[in-house]
């Protein structure tokens, strides 16, 4: 799958979601049955990967706003921050259809989510991007991109926006 064939765009009605199968039932079910309600109620925004002129969803991620308790930050992450909830972007879900796995689509989706988070941080206060990894395999995926554990659970990870912005310098 080349970059020219792939687009990541906001989810809308024309996207085909019914056949999406990433092999993880809760992630499949969210896209097939629940995502429209989340969008309508402003609980999250979902972005999908599709090939040119094909509305079949190959992968997706959902982001929303949130906050984490100051106490969940590791000591080195808490330096110079006030002791109150820390504003974050939450990557609530990220999944790739079985037909597109092994083609680095998960990485493309994550990079898109991170770049979008940096853009958002220029408009409102966001200190980090947070994810609740679904399992150890997902945790290992996020750790490749420098996500670090929070103090309240081995699968609760974060990445400071400053770290992301340094990786995506603006021209």
List, in order of start, the domains of the chain with CATH numbers.
Answer: 3-167 (3.40.630.30)
Q: How far apart are CA 12 and CA 3, in angstroms?
A: 21
* Beta pairing, strands 86-96 & 128-132: parallel
Q: How far apart are CA 75 and CA 158, in angstroms?
A: 13
90-112 residue pLDDT tens: 999 999 999 999 999 999 999 99
Strand, helix or coil at 24?
A: coil
23-58 residue pLDDT tens: 999 999 999 999 999 999 999 999 999 998 899 999
Look-up: residue for tokens 């998960």?
Answer: 106
Quote the pTM value: 0.92
pLDDT computed for residue 38 by the predictor: 95
pLDDT computed for residue 156 by the predictor: 97
pLDDT computed for residue 171 by the predictor: 53
* Beta pairing, strands 128-132 & 153-160: antiparallel
pLDDT computed for residue 143 by the predictor: 96
**Catalytic-residue membership of 142:** yes
Among 38, 47, 60, 142, the one annotated catalytic: 142
**pLDDT above 80: residue 131:** yes
Q: What is the mean pLDDT of the chain?
A: 93
């Amino acid at each position: 799958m080349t970059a020219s064939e792939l687009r990541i765009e906001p989810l809308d009605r024309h996207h085909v979601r019914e056949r999406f199968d990433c092999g993880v039932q809760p992630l499949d079910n969210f896209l097939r049955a629940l995502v429209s309600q989340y969008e309508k109620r402003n609980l999250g925004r979902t972005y999908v990967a599709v090939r040119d002129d094909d509305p079949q969803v190959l992968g997706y991620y959902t982001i929303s706003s949130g906050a984490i308790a100051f106490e969940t930050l590791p000591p080195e992450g808490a330096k110079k921050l006030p002791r109150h909830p820390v504003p974050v972007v939450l990557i609530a879900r990220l999944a790739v259809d079985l037909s597109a796995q092994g083609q680095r689509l998960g990485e493309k989706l994550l990079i898109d989510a991170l770049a979008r988070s940096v853009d958002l941080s220029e408009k409102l206060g966001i200190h980090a991007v947070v994810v609740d990894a679904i399992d150890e395999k997902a945790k290992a995926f996020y750790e490749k991109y420098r996500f670090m554990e929070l103090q309240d659970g081995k699968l609760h990870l974060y990445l400071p926006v400053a770290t992301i912005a340094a990786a995506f310098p603006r021209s």
